[in-house]
Amino acid sequence: MQETGCEMGSSAGPPELSVLIPTYNRAEYPGCINYVKKPFTYDEFCYSCEMQGRSRYLFSKLHPDPLIRRFCMVEDAERKWRSIQKQLDERILRVRELEALLLSEGGSIKDDGGLRGLFNLYGWTFNALKIKGYFEARRDAGEAMQEAENGNQEQRHN
């Protein structure tokens, strides 16, 4: 099995988590999947999502094309970050609670929508962490503060 152009898949211990990343060469390698053998924790994947957000910032700066900006989900990142940052720590904590409950009860969760609720929280936190990583990379580059100051000045003049 060739790795180039394949979807990347990974699987972790309980609860099982599969991640598939779309490929650009799907027609060339139909049905090709590469599995990562090393399991990873929720915290490790969260870190990976933050780093992906940082990478998206750099990629969008290298290629400012609107299509790339949409791919990187960088449009309106500051507003998105403001709307999710207060909920992020709480939701990460809830994931940890549900995972602990799942492990302690032998694989069943009976509250908060069960396993579907946990998977929804996974998706929400992973996307939020990508936005966080993007925004932190912008902040580190000094852009976010500059834009915030410009926005505040515009509001004062209106």
Q: Which two tokens stand for residue 131?
A: 């936005």
User: 112: which DSSP letter?
Assistant: T
pLDDT tens for residues 49-71? Answer: 999 999 999 999 998 888 888 88
User: What are 9's strand-pairing partners?
Assistant: 35
Q: Which of 48, 35, 6 is nearest to 23 (CA)?
A: 6
% the chain with pLDDT above 90:
31
Under the phi-then-psi rule, with left for phi > 0, alpha for psi from -120 to 50, and beta for the rest, what region is 114?
left
User: What are 2's strand-pairing partners?
Assistant: none
Amino acid identity of 105?
E
Inform me whether the pLDDT recorded for 141 exceeds 70.
yes
Binned at pLDDT 50, 70 and 90, residue 91 comes out as very high
- Residue 45 contacts residue 95 (beta carbons within 8 Å): no
Binned at pLDDT 50, 70 and 90, residue 21 comes out as very low
Inform me whether the pLDDT recorded for 88 exceeds 90.
yes
- Residue 137 contacts residue 61 (beta carbons within 8 Å): no
Burial tier of 94 (Cβ tally within 10 Å: 0-12, 13-18, 19+): middle
Q: At what angle do helices 114-140 and 42-62 cross, to 10 degrees?
A: 40
pLDDT tens for residues 103-117? Answer: 876 666 665 567 888
